Structure formats: C-alpha cells, structure tokens
Structure 1
C-alpha cells in the first residue's frame, strides 16, 4: 500500500531524528524546571509573540504571491488567517498582564526576539514551495507543543496567571493544518523541489524558534 505523502513524511521523520539527536531546547521550559523563571517572562513571551505576528502576516502573503495555486495557496491563506485571528486574543492576554498593545511596540528590543522573524522573512522570499511548507509544518509541530508544555508547567507549579494567558497558549494547534502542510511539501517535491534544501530550511527555522524561547525567558 502506498503511503500518502511518503517523501514528505520521510523528511518530517528526518527532522524528528535531528530533534532527538541534537535538541534545540526551550529556554522558557528549562527556566521553569529549574525554578528560576523570570517574573517578567510571561510579558516577554507575549511581546516576542507580537513581533512574530508582524513578520508572519507579511511572510505568508509573500508565500501566497509566489505559490498561488492549490494546495500551496490553501496553506498560506490559512496560516495568515490563523495569525490574524490570534491577534485580538493576544491583545487580551497582554492587557491581562498589564501591558499596552504589544503589537504597537518593539519589545523585547533584543536580537533573539527577531531571529524567527528574519528566518521566516528570508524563507518567504528565497524558499522553494517544499521548503516553505516543511518549515511551516515544523513551526506548527514545535511551537504549539512548546506552548502547551509551558501552559501545563504553569498549572503544575501553581503559577498565578490570568485566564487569558492560558486561553491563548494552551493550544495544540490544528492537526489538519499540519497535514495540509505535508500535502504542500509533497506537491513541491513532485514538482522538483530539492529535499535537502527543504530539510535545511525547516531545521533553520526550528533553530530560530529556539531563540524565540530564549527571548521569552530572558536568557540571552
């Protein structure tokens, strides 16, 4: 029996093997596990998230312009919609944490805060369809799991957080959207996109997510 998206799945498995053999880590979770989580880490997480939103909306629009056909267009439209719909929830989260509109300020003002943004923006302009989609799959795979693990840690440790924070971050993401990303990877590979390049780009974006967590934790 032929497995749907067999090559795309294999590339995702290669990335999972890299993740196990050379873990990038989540500084936010690591700080919580050590019991030295900075008091402003929740605000820093929201601020870093808000800066990512700016880059994501532009990046997914660029990807859509470069790959406007099915199934790639479906993926990039849905990713943009996901970020757009998340903005009001993040504003409520920021407000509950005593912050002004995080989308209107450039904070935290540190390089690591913008590492993900820079990598995604470069990928949107330079990446093949398979590379953009595999990076998006990886983003959804590691970002949402990191968020849910941190939310669980917050609950387990009895950290007092507003409900708006958990409403935003306790989210496993959409399995359907992750599967769509693999469809788009496979479609790109079938059109001749390079496998090794797609893996490189996805791993690079995952490394930048590691810096996203460093920015949130304040461990730069």
Structure 2
C-alpha cells in the first residue's frame, strides 16, 4: 500500500463516502484523488465536495453529459409469453439466432433460475447450460466461471450475482426475463450494466428485455383490469 497511485470513488455525492475518502487521504497524503463519479452533480456540489475533501477547487473539473452508448448492442423489448411452453420456445429460438457465441439469461431469483434450467435441459443439451447465483459455493462459482470462459458453457442462467468482473468477449445475446422498477430494485442501472456483457468483442450483439402485465402494473403503480 506504500505505492498507492491514486484514489477513485463511485457515488461521490453520498456524504458518507466523503469521510471515507478523507480518512484515506490522511493515510496516503501523496496519492491524488483522480476521479470521482456520481450520477448527478452540479457546480455547487463540486464546491462542497472539494471543500470537505480539502481538494484545490481550481484544480477540479466537472465533466458531464458524456455518452457511454454501446453502438454494437441492439436493445429489444418483447412482451413475455404467458404460456410456459411458448416462453421456453421463445428462449430457444432466440438462442438459435446465434451462429457463434454465448447467451446470458438473467432471472429475478434463485428459484426462477432453478426452474428455468430444469425446463431448458429437457429441450437442449445439458452440457452447454449452467446456472450462477449468490447461493453457490465459492468452489461451484469458480467451476462454472471456468467452463463459461473456456467455451464449454454457452448459455448462462443467472441472477444479478453474475456481473462484475466477468468479462467474456463473445456474448451475443443478453436476455432479461422480467422488467422490474421500484424503490428497492435499481433495475435500469443493473440492466445497462448486465446488458453490457454483450458484444465486448466489438461485433453486433443484442439485449432483449421481456416484460409482463405484472411488470407494467408495478412500474405504473396501477392495476390493469
């Protein structure tokens, strides 16, 4: 830690992170804070942050309105088939669109992952399908990731536990089987981050978001008759 080069911090506008960064600055006074990231920040906020962290305001820059759009990813929204057999067939048809590459299917819970993998394995080769979620042991996760990166696994059924640090270039399609948006699930951010697993090799890729009537009721806060 003696050779710490710089600090970077996400969610810099959250005040509790300021104390954390201030403590780091005291421990490593010669390491610069190079990059602070937040969703919303105005000039007056920058003044407060630099004051609290004892950063020279004249040396700080506020960079906003930069697009990080992935042009190779095509987003598609589909109404989810209510019939289970039709839903499974649609998943299989989507996967069959891929000539070379992998597919990630995100589910909202461990139980839904388990149900989907059982159902898909009755219609497809079991060897190419795997499941990843937070309840797997470290050994199980390691084995699944090894087979995923080596190409043995072509379809990954996962919760949002499958995300950070998983970098495989040849993912062609990412499917979200539900669309949720409420106070406890910051789904839009997760959707963008998870969809970003597709097309990392720069080749065309697709992100498919499925929605149901239940999802719409949740989003709109109304009940459809």
Using structure 2 for the length normalisation, give the TM-score: 0.26
Q: Higher relative contact order at CA 8 Å, sep ≥6: structure 1 or structure 2?
A: 1
Greater fraction of residues in helix: 1
Greater fraction of residues in strand: 2
Larger of the two Rg values belongs to structure: 2
Using structure 1 for the length normalisation, give the TM-score: 0.26
